[in-house]
């Protein structure tokens, strides 16, 4: 993760959306558009492998109450929390969700991100979940590199009496329909106190795998549950959060192909102290990715540069490790490494260009956006005013 393969004063040739050549003295075809990045850093476009892209309203009540010392349960009792987003999502038309998601994607692009995993999970009923997944399909059809995940097991919706009843409904009704309509590549679950137990999560993931979906998992966020090792045992593509992970989890991940996806933005926004143990995981040999966890309650940020900065200052990752985690390892966390996450011949022409002389300036200037252009499959899609 510390070897970025830097090419000084190099060039990248993109034709028909794919990288054709990299290096020095590349013959420039006639009529091709040239972008002069002299004096700048050119990276692979960031791969944000954990986001909750589709929602309408910020949870400002949650933030205000949290600042005043309210607990998670107290916020929910006051009308906030995940279910408050569920209530507004159920009342929102697909066209409005789509319009907002397009604007949010533009903000991601302005910060250098080109590939985004996006979850449902704020509807928790058939109509709203399908509406959310429909938005993600429309975005992908429009050419955005959006990878859809069904987060059915997020929290228990109010119309169900028990988590077991809800999981059974998902298995019998939702997952077969999602499979039939090709609406998701992955399924995700929130295994945590107040959400779903380890056994309930296992039942859900088994049903998802039976319906052809890859597996992802919110694991060890607020408490030790065994979810990280469950993810490894079930060959999940990633286990995400891991703030409460221990040495046993790190050892299991190191001996697997499951990616440890860390989300420091949530710890920062919640005002907590326990950042994910990146050094323990990396030193044990686990493959670590970084993502924003963009969502309305705990991490309302689209900035992968800020996430990289937090990873360096709060989790003691080196800048090179953090950039690898935000690019190639993020691509592995969504099974997109064959086409994204690195600047290699044959891959998609996805680049992020930064007004910096050294890649280490990206985490150094925390809270600043040094991205000057973002290129998706050879087309410029994001440009800041800086």
Give the distance between the most distant pair of CA atoms in the chain.
67
Q: Are 71 and 352 in contact (CB under 8 A)?
A: no
pLDDT band at residue 345, thresholds of 50, 70 and 90? very high
- Alpha helices for the chain (secondary structure H): 60-67, 72-77, 82-90, 94-110, 126-141, 163-169, 175-181, 198-210, 227-233, 247-254, 264-270, 278-284, 304-315, 319-326, 328-332, 361-364
Q: Among 20-29, 35-44, 178-187, name the one with the lowest average pLDDT.
A: 20-29
Determine the pLDDT at residue 379: 95
Question: What does the DSSP assignment read for 283-323?
Answer: HHT--EEE----BTTTB----HHHHHHHHHHHH---HHHHH
Q: 386: pLDDT confidence band, cut at 50, 70 and 90?
A: very low
Which single residue is written with the structure tokens 């360096």? 312
* pLDDT tens per residue across span 52-105: 999 999 999 999 999 999 887 788 888 889 999 999 999 999 999 999 999 999
Mean pLDDT within 132-147: 98
Which tens digit of pLDDT belongs to each residue from 142-153? 999 999 999 999
Q: What is the mean pLDDT of residues 122-128?
A: 97
Average pLDDT over residues 38-55: 98
Q: For the chain, which residues make up each domain, given as ranges?
A: 11-43+351-382, 44-56+92-332
DSSP H or E segment with residue 216: strand 214-219
d(CA 382, CA 376): 9
| % of residues, the chain, pLDDT over 90 | 92
Residue 346: is it exposed, middle or buried by C-beta count within 10 angstroms (0-12/13-18/19+)?
exposed
Q: What are phi and psi of 181, to 5 degrees?
A: -95, 0
Q: Tokens 């949870």 sit at which residue?
A: 59
Top-confidence residue, 194 or 352: 352
When pLDDT is cut at 50, 70 and 90, the band that residue 382 belongs to is confident
Is the model's pLDDT at 122 over the cut of 50? yes
Q: What is the pLDDT of residues 244-267, one digit of tens each?
A: 999 999 999 999 999 999 999 999
Residue with tokens 């994001």: 382
pLDDT recorded at residue 383? 64
For 99, residues 6+ apart whose C-beta sits below 8 A from its C-beta are none
| Residue 309 reports pLDDT greater than 90 | yes
CATH of span 44-56+92-332: 3.20.20.140
C-beta separation of 122 from 132 below 8 A:
yes
Dist CA 359 CA 46 (whole Å): 13
Task: Provide the pLDDT for residue 324.
Answer: 98
With helix as H, strand as E and coil as C, how does 358-384 read? CCCHHHHCCCCCCEEEEEECCEEEECC
């Amino acid at each position: 993760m510390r070897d970025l393969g830097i090419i000084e004063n190099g060039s990248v040739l993109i034709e028909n959306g794919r990288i054709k050549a990299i290096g020095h003295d590349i013959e420039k075809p006639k009529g091709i558009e040239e972008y002069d990045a002299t004096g700048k850093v050119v990276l692979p476009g960031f791969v944000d492998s954990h986001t909750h892209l589709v929602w309408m309203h910020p949870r400002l009540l949650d933030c205000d109450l949290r600042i005043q010392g309210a607990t998670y349960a107290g916020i929910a009792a006051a009308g906030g929390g995940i279910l408050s987003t569920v209530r507004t999502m159920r009342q929102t038309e697909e066209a409005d969700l789509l319009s907002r998601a397009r604007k949010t994607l533009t903000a991601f692009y302005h910060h250098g991100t080109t590939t985004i995993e996006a979850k449902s999970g704020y509807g928790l009923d058939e109509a709203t979940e399908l509406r959310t997944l429909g938005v993600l399909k429309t975005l992908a059809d429009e050419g955005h590199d959006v990878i859809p995940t069904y987060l059915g097991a997020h929290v228990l919706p109010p119309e169900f009496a028990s988590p077991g009843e809800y999981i059974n409904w998902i298995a019998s009704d939702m997952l077969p329909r999602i499979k039939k309509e090709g609406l998701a590549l992955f399924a995700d679950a929130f295994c945590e106190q107040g959400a779903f137990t380890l056994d309930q999560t296992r039942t859900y993931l088994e049903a998802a795998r039976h319906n052809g979906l890859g597996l992802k998992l919110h694991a060890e966020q607020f408490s030790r549950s065994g979810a990280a090792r469950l993810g490894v045992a079930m060959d999940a593509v990633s286990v995400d959060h891991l703030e409460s992970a221990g040495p046993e989890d790190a050892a299991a991940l190191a001996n697997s192909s499951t990616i440890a996806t860390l989300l420091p933005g949530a710890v920062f926004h919640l005002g907590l102290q326990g950042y994910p143990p990146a050094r323990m995981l990396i030193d044990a040999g686990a493959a670590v990715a970084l993502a924003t966890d963009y969502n309305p309650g705990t991490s309302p940020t689209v900035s992968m540069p800020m996430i990289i900065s937090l990873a360096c200052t709060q989790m003691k990752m080196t800048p090179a490790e953090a950039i690898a985690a935000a690019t190639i390892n993020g691509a592995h966390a969504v099974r997109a490494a064959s086409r994204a996450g690195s600047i290699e011949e044959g891959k998609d022409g996805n680049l992020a260009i930064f007004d910096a002389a050294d890649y280490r300036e990206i985490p150094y200037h925390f809270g600043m956006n040094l991205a000057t252009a973002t290129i998706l499959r050879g087309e410029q899609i994001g440009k800041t005013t800086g």
